[in-house]
């Protein structure tokens, strides 16, 4: 069940996550990886909790369906910006992630405009890319906070996965976009 009401506990938790985001970015940009990591953990907990509460008490809302993934994307992007500003990851990695996200947003806009397709769900590659981004960010923060060589090795492998999956998922979404656009045009969707 999905309500039109926006003022729900899950949506308030999502709002808390958005409010926490600039604070996390500031901590990471200052090189405060321990504090930034704990704050990120708290923000991630609000994400888990808002989903559980929404399902358990039937508090899903239309605004929450859009608000929650946007909050997640803002948080994850801000974490990478903070890590780059703090010197923990290379700027080009952040630009790659940002370019991929903008590209997917553009493809979604084209799909919404020129096709009847409305089921804009993340692909398996997109989910894998997000998972690697989260795990890589956590491992980079752990490496910087604790100075442990194992965390350095793990974060290096995970960052490599982030780069590969950003490219693969971007290509996957592009191919899916072309497929849906062709189907929309074939069904006689108006071109403009």
Q: How far, in Å, CA of 55 to CA of 12, rounded?
A: 15
Q: Tell me: do 49 and 83 sit in the same domain.
A: yes
Number of domains in the chain: 2
Q: What is the pLDDT along the chain (192 residues), one digit of tens a residue?
A: 444 566 788 889 999 999 999 999 999 999 999 999 999 999 999 989 988 888 887 777 777 777 888 899 999 999 999 999 999 999 999 999 999 999 988 887 877 777 776 666 788 999 999 999 999 999 999 999 999 999 999 999 999 999 999 999 999 988 987 877 777 655 544 443
Q: Tell me: do 70 and 163 sit in the same domain.
A: no
Q: For residue 54, what is the DSSP state? A: H
- Looking at 88, 119, 134, the residue that finishes a domain is 88
Q: Tell me: do 55 and 79 sit in the same domain.
A: yes
Q: Tell me: do 84 and 94 sit in the same domain.
A: no
Q: Tell me: do 22 and 102 sit in the same domain.
A: no
- Looking at 41, 68, 88, the residue that finishes a domain is 88
Residue written as token pair 């605004």: 63
3-class state of residue 169 by DSSP: helix
Q: What is the pLDDT of residue 118?
A: 64
Instruction: Note whether 155 and 83 are within 8 A (CB).
Output: no
pTM of the model: 0.85
Instruction: Note whether 37 and 142 are within 8 A (CB).
Output: yes
Structural domain including 18 reads 1-88
3-class state of residue 105 by DSSP: helix
Record the tokens describing residue 40, joined without a space.
Answer: 């990120």
- Looking at 20, 53, 88, the residue that finishes a domain is 88
């Amino acid at each position: 069940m999905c309500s039109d009401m926006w003022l729900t506990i899950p949506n308030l938790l999502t709002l808390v996550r958005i409010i926490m985001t600039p604070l996390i970015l500031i901590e990471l940009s200052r090189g405060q990886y321990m504090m930034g990591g704990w704050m990120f953990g708290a923000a991630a907990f609000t994400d888990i909790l808002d989903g559980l509460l929404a399902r358990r008490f039937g508090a899903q809302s239309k605004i929450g369906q859009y608000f929650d993934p946007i909050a997640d994307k803002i948080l994850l992007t801000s974490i990478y910006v903070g890590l780059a500003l703090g010197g923990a990851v290379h700027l080009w990695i952040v630009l790659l992630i940002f370019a991929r996200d903008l590209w997917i947003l553009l493809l979604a806009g084209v799909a919404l405009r020129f096709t009847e397709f409305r089921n804009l769900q993340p692909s398996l590659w997109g989910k894998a890319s997000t998972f690697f981004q989260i795990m890589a960010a956590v491992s980079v923060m752990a490496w910087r906070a604790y100075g442990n060589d194992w965390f350095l090795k793990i974060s290096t492998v995970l960052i490599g996965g982030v780069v590969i999956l950003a490219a693969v998922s971007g290509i996957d979404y592009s191919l899916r976009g072309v497929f849906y656009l062709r189907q929309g045009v074939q069904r006689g969707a108006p071109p403009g």
